[in-house]
Amino acid sequence: MESPAPTTPLFEARGITKIFGELRANNNVDLTIEQGEIHALLGENGAGKSTLVKIMFGSLQPDGGEMFWLGEPLAVRAPAEAREAGIGMVFQHFSLFDSLTVAENIALSSPPGENISDIAERAEMLATQYGLPLDPTSLVGDLSVGERQRIEIVRCLMQDPQLVVLDEPTSVLTPQEANTLFETLFRLRDEGRSILYISHRLEEVQRICSTATIMRHGKVVDSCDPREETAGSLAAKMVGADIVDVVRPALKGEGAQILEVTGLSSFADHPFATALKDITFNVRAGEVLGIAGIAGNGQGELFARLSGEEPASGGSVKIDGSECIEHGVTERRASNAAFVPEERLGHGAVPVMRLSENMLLTHHGEDGVTGGGGLRTVAGRFVAKAAQAVVSAMDVRKSSHNPPAASLSGGNLQKFIVGRELVRKPKLLIVNQPTWGVDAGAAAHIRQSLIDLAAEGSAIVVISQDLDEIFEIASDVAVMADGHLSPVEPVANMTRERIGLLMAGQNASEVAA
Amino acid sequence: MRLELHKRPVASTALSYLAPVIALTLTLVAGAIMFALMGKSPIAALYTYFIEPLLDPWSRDQVFFKATPLAIIAIGLCVCFRSGNWNIGAEGQYLIGGLVGATVPVLFPAFSSPLLLPIMIVMGMIGGGLYAFIPGFLKARFGTNEILTSLMLVYVAQQFVDWMVRGPWRDPQGMGFPGTKQFDDSGILPNLVGTWDTHWGAVFAIIAAVAFWFMLSRTLKGFEIAVLGQSPRAGRFAGFSARQMTIFAFVVSGAMAGLAGISEVSGSVEKLDDKLSLGYGFTAIIVAFLGRLNPIGCIFAALLLALSSIGGESAQIMLGISDRATRVFQGMLLFFVLASDTLIHYRIRLVGRTPAAREGAV
């Protein structure tokens, strides 16, 4: 699609402005999407990308500006009108009902009239065609994040849209799966459709997008051809400064065994859960173990057994030499372990509660936090001060002094949740998807702080679907597939292809280094 | 032109205090319109409802008297509702509290001791707590819907108390009326002031309000209740047990309902009879929400609902307004309170035609 576009642009926004209270989330934003192009929208978290996209989709009304569709004025007062016009959306935060099946969720956004088994059939067909396997009868509540995203993509394609907006689509896919998705996108483009592609993964943007619009602090700061830029120059445009590369110090000798997991197993609690099968691995002080794998292969289940949120059916978990398998999460924290779960809102933090209250969530078992003897009164000022310390240590940007967790952008909340665990200088830190949906600047900050913690002699387990992340920070790698964990190997022995094969469930012995 | 709700970045503190006042004002306006439509003078009707009972000492006593059980039950329900457990069966726990609390004076009528009243109160609380333990345990252990089980147990309790006062526990000298023997004097909760109907239960309500407010707002237990109520998964991550919380919340709210029950039995009727179930346990649900699940707020909410029902009685006598109007009134009050709460989190804006709309549809 190198030919110059002779046609009118498919979509055009001029001077879009949206104000929330004091904040100009979108300030006079222009965006032009040509027919049949893959157009990247780049920017840090909080730059205003999501706001712009919500305005395009009619879920927000702009305070000023105009939009055009094929040169004609376009009014989008509700998502249904956007879909009718031909705009399809795959949101970063899924809008799915947990208690409904995949097919029912898709039917909810379909025009009325079609019966649900037809929808299920069509969805399954589209899903297979685009390499996004889905069982239409599964309950969404039982699915992993990765599987939920597939529903969103398929649901969008069901509408046969002219313009497809994808918000961070590859963050939960394996390299192989991402390649399939790109092929899907190329096919859609070759059919004459346009794609607005929002991502923080610059190398992806360079690979598949022909135009990039870059936003910072609510304004469009640049527009360029990403193929003519380097990842570094794109990142610099996004954050307005050069991003510091993560520095990984060399390991100094063999540290002490901090985490010893032997034969850890669990039953599947519900039909779509993955049972853990005889998981064994050790992590030493100073090591960062990266656990790779496709969403839904037991990573969430493993995290819950390592943190003690869910009981295991067998095996042993030793933290710093003492057996913890029977212990709950509070006791494991007392053994100097710390945990960062995958979901920020609703798992790592209570959305409506203020940062200081969310601080208490994982620190209530510590000295000085509660007093009053048996009454266990909360030392509010002490906790608030600790929360402020996390905020300044991690450079968490927020709109007021002590805001509710839900009002922070994803990247800033993640910095807070990670920082909340770092302040206690844990001997063992277990993190699930540390930078999922987090902007490049915040991700680099979080990764560097994990590496720094390891350098100070802590053991770290990073469960991640992001291979770039694993190669960037892990000293050792293991791969999860269907509840099994492959043997741990030094990162130097691993290649992307080999990890990809292990992800697909092949035996380590078959996948020779 | 249309109204739009805009979410505030941070909940408004000023409005969280103002919202109940706004709600009350709107209720009064809507009530005045309702009375005008009924052909009654709105001023006279509102005066009879809300002012007159406060001027007359007897009515004032009745307001306190009725507010007492409502407040005690609602305070317990705050814990339950805040933790995300839906105890709809406070009426049953109130009855069983009254029944169990009455065991000693009924079975040992000769037992007269300063210990009798404390024993009755403790047993009443244990009775209510254990009765609430049933739906709590069923939910924690088997995932049963607690709304259904707690509600069904109300009917069980009503029939059981009715059978007890007509059968095994009926006073043989009671002329065949259902009810136990009058309690010994040492088993009677004294009135607050000489001839008042309001008894020491009112003091229990105030002590409980302060104690529960402290627990909910200042202690780790209160934090645990709030976290598990808002985000069970985050609660589990914090190391709190949702199952234990369900049982705790049910037992605590049941014990409070039991306290209200035995206070009514020993302070008002002075024996157990078949007229104990007056719906306090259900009205207390409204009180708890009207008081915004805040124990101190529950005291004011209980007074307001008691005032409107005493006022409703006199409006019925003096102005011939049906007692259904009182229920409509209470319904409107709850409606406006819940609606005004929206203002705490949202800002209302009157919006003209949007720029996009001005361009016209394609």
Over residues A357-370, the mean pLDDT reads: 90
β-pairing, A288-292 vs A314-319, is unpaired
- Provide the token pair at A187: 């096919």
Task: Answer for the pair A341, A462: CB distance below 8 angstroms, yes or no.
Answer: no
- Can you spell out the DSSP letters for B291-360? TTT-HHHHHHHHHHHHHHHHHHHHHHHHH---HHHHHHHHHHHHHHHHHHHHHHHEEEEEE---HHHHH-
Q: State the virtual CA torsion across B68, B71, B74, B79 in degrees, nearest 10.
A: -120
Question: Which of these CATH numbers, 2.70.98, 1.10.3470, 1.10.443, 3.30.300, describes B41-320?
Answer: 1.10.3470
Q: How far apart are CA A231 and CA A209, in angstroms?
A: 13
Site from A23, A29, A350, A363 to mutate, B interface, most B CB atoms within 10 angstroms = A350
Task: Answer for the pair A430, A307: CB distance below 8 angstroms, yes or no.
Answer: yes
Q: Does B113 touch chain A (CB under 8 A)?
A: no
Search chain B and give the residue with CA nearest A331: B239
Spell out which residues of chain B touch residue A67, defining contact as CB-CB under 8 Å. Answer: 356
The residue whose two tokens read 């109300």 is: B154
Q: Does B361 touch chain A (CB under 8 A)?
A: yes
Tell me if A329 and B239 make a contact (CB, 8 A cut-off): yes
Query: Residue A283 forms beta bridges with which residues?
Result: A259
Over residues A170-195, the mean pLDDT reads: 79
Strand ranges across the sheet with A257-266: A276-284, A257-266, A314-319, A322-323
Q: Which H or E run includes B224?
A: helix B220-230
The 3-class SS string of A451-506 reads HHHHHCCCEEEEECCCHHHHHHHCCEEEEEECCEECCCEEHHHCCHHHHHHHHCCC
Site from B223, B228, B244 to mutate, A interface, most A CB atoms within 10 angstroms = B223
Of the listed ranges A55-59, A390-394, A463-467, B221-225, the least confidently predicted one is: A463-467
Residues making up chain B, counted from first to last? 362
Name the residue with higher pLDDT: A414 or B326: A414
Tell me if B230 and A329 make a contact (CB, 8 A cut-off): no
Q: At what angle do helices B146-166 and B90-101 cross, to 10 degrees?
A: 30
Distance from CA of A33 to the nearest CA of B (A): 18
Q: Which of B218, B231, B234 sits opposite A378 (nearest CB)?
A: B218
The residue type found at A361 is: L
Spell out which residues of chain A touch residue B351, defining contact as CB-CB under 8 Å. Answer: 61
Spell out which residues of chain A touch residue B220, defining contact as CB-CB under 8 Å. Answer: 364, 370, 376-378
β-pairing, A194-198 vs A163-167, is parallel
Q: Does A334 touch chain B (CB under 8 A)?
A: no
Distance from CA of A306 to the nearest CA of B (A): 12
Distance from CA of B71 to the nearest CA of A (A): 24
Q: Does B156 touch chain A (CB under 8 A)?
A: no
Predicted pLDDT at A245: 62
The residue whose two tokens read 């505030």 is: B8
Q: Which H or E run includes A27?
A: strand A23-33
Tell me if B362 and A330 make a contact (CB, 8 A cut-off): no
How do residues B140-175 score in pLDDT, each as one tens digit?
999 999 999 999 999 999 999 999 999 999 998 888
How do residues A432-456 score in pLDDT, each as one tens digit?
999 887 777 888 889 999 999 999 9
Q: How far apart are CA B222 and CA B218, in angstroms?
A: 7
Tell me if A361 and B230 make a contact (CB, 8 A cut-off): no
Predicted pLDDT at B358: 40
Q: Does B231 touch chain A (CB under 8 A)?
A: yes
- Give the residue from A214, A186, A217 showing the smallest Cα distance to A200: A214
Q: How far apart are CA A150 and CA A157, in angstroms?
A: 11
Q: Which H or E run includes A178?
A: helix A175-190
DSSP state of A388: H
β-pairing, A211-216 vs A194-198, is unpaired
Strands (E), B132-183: none
Alpha helices, DSSP H only, in A308-376? 329-334, 355-363
- Can you spell out the DSSP letters for A384-429? HHHHHHHHHHHT---SSSS-BGGGS-HHHHHHHHHHHHHTT--SEE
Spell out which residues of chain A touch residue B225, defining contact as CB-CB under 8 Å. Answer: none
- Provide the token pair at A416: 């807070």
Asked whether the predicted pLDDT for residue A151 surpasses 90, the reply is no
What b-and-e string marks burial along B14-41, b requiring 16 or more CB atoms within 10 Å of the CB? ebeeebbeebbebbbebbbebbeeeebe
Q: Does A507 touch chain B (CB under 8 A)?
A: no
Q: How far apart are CA B26 and CA A502, in angstroms?
A: 66
| Cα A112 → chain centroid | 33
The counts of H helices and E strands in chain B are: 16, 2
Distance from CA of A141 to the nearest CA of B (A): 13
CATH 1.10.3470 spans which residues of chain B? Answer: 41-320
Q: How far apart are CA A340 and CA A203, in angstroms?
A: 27
**A452 Cβ contact list (under 8 Å, min separation 6):** none
Distance from CA of A151 to the nearest CA of B (A): 23
Predicted pLDDT at A438: 78
How do residues B314-357 score in pLDDT, each as one tens digit?
888 888 888 788 888 878 888 888 888 888 878 888 776 544 44
The residue whose two tokens read 């380097």 is: A230
Tell me if A329 and B237 make a contact (CB, 8 A cut-off): yes
- Give the residue from A321, A327, A330, A380 showing the smallest Cα distance to A355: A380
- In this predicted complex, what is the ipTM? 0.83
- Provide the token pair at A206: 């360079």
Q: How far apart are CA A92 and CA A242, in angstroms?
A: 26
Q: How far apart are CA B48 and CA B111, in angstroms?
A: 46
- Provide the token pair at B255: 């014990």
Name the residue with higher pLDDT: B193 or B235: B235
Spell out which residues of chain A touch residue B213, defining contact as CB-CB under 8 Å. Answer: none
Spell out which residues of chain B touch residue A21, defining contact as CB-CB under 8 Å. Answer: 8-9
Tell me if A346 and B231 make a contact (CB, 8 A cut-off): yes
Distance from CA of B244 to the nearest CA of A (A): 14
Over residues A57-84, the mean pLDDT reads: 89
Q: Does B223 touch chain A (CB under 8 A)?
A: yes
Site from B237, B341, B344 to mutate, A interface, most A CB atoms within 10 angstroms = B237
Search chain A and give the residue with CA nearest B347: A21
Q: Does A74 touch chain B (CB under 8 A)?
A: yes
How do residues B91-107 score in pLDDT, each as one tens digit?
999 999 999 999 999 99
| Cα A52 → chain centroid | 20
- pTM as predicted: 0.75
Q: How far apart are CA A277 and CA B93, in angstroms?
A: 47
> Which chain A residues in 384-443 lie under 8 Å from chain B, judged by CB atoms?
399-400, 403-404, 407
Search chain B and give the residue with CA nearest A74: B362
Task: Answer for the pair B276, B261: CB distance below 8 angstroms, yes or no.
Answer: yes
Over residues A149-161, the mean pLDDT reads: 83
How do residues B249-275 score in pLDDT, each as one tens digit?
999 999 999 999 999 999 998 999 999
Tell me if B234 and A65 make a contact (CB, 8 A cut-off): no
3-state secondary structure of A284: strand
The residue whose two tokens read 């009725």 is: B66
- Give the residue from B90, B87, B92 showing the smallest Cα distance to B159: B92
End-to-end CA distance of chain B: 21
Q: Does B10 touch chain A (CB under 8 A)?
A: yes
Spell out which residues of chain B touch residue A353, defining contact as CB-CB under 8 Å. Answer: 226-227, 230
- Confidence band, pLDDT 50/70/90 cuts, at residue A413: very high
Search chain B and give the residue with CA nearest A67: B356
Q: Which of B8, B234, B357 sits opposite A346 (nearest CB)?
A: B234
Q: How far apart are CA A450 and CA B338, in angstroms?
A: 46
**A161 Cβ contact list (under 8 Å, min separation 6):** A83, A86, A87, A88, A193
Q: State the virtual CA torsion across B117, B122, B128, B129 in degrees, nearest 10.
A: 170
β-pairing, A476-481 vs A484-485, is antiparallel
Q: How far apart are CA A325 and CA B240, in angstroms?
A: 17
Predicted pLDDT at A31: 94
Distance from CA of A128 to the nearest CA of B (A): 33
Phi first, then psi: give them for residue A352, nearest 5 degrees.
-80, -10
Name the residue with higher pLDDT: A74 or A180: A74
Over residues B59-86, the mean pLDDT reads: 96
Search chain B and give the residue with CA nearest A76: B356
Asked whether the predicted pLDDT for residue A346 surpasses 60, the reply is yes
- Provide the token pair at A67: 């939009």
- Give the residue from A257, A301, A321 showing the smallest Cα distance to A485: A301
Q: Does B108 touch chain A (CB under 8 A)?
A: no
Tell me if B226 and A307 make a contact (CB, 8 A cut-off): no
Over residues A408-429, the mean pLDDT reads: 92
> Which chain B residues in 78-107 lie under 8 Å from chain A, judged by CB atoms?
none
- Can you spell out the DSSP letters for A180-226? HHHHHHHHHHHTT-EEEEE-S-HHHHHHH-SEEEEEETTEEEEEE-G
Predicted pLDDT at A200: 67
Predicted pLDDT at A78: 87
Q: Which H or E run includes A30?
A: strand A23-33
Q: Nearest-5° angle of CA B22, CA B23, CA B25?
A: 65
Spell out which residues of chain B touch residue A346, defining contact as CB-CB under 8 Å. Answer: 231, 233-234
Asked whether the predicted pLDDT for residue B361 surpasses 50, the reply is no
- Give the residue from A74, A78, A27 showing the smallest Cα distance to A48: A27
- Provide the token pair at B159: 């029939």
Predicted pLDDT at A458: 94
Over residues B178-196, the mean pLDDT reads: 90
Tell me if B219 and A377 make a contact (CB, 8 A cut-off): yes
Strands (E), A300-343: 314-319, 322-323, 337-340
Cβ pairs A/B, distance under 8 A: 111
- Confidence band, pLDDT 50/70/90 cuts, at residue A1: very low
Predicted pLDDT at A236: 74
Predicted pLDDT at A463: 96
**A27 Cβ contact list (under 8 Å, min separation 6):** A17, A48, A217, A218, A219
| Cα A287 → chain centroid | 24
Q: Does B345 touch chain A (CB under 8 A)?
A: no
Q: What's the mean per-residue pLDDT of chain A?
A: 86
Q: Which H or E run includes B126?
A: helix B116-142
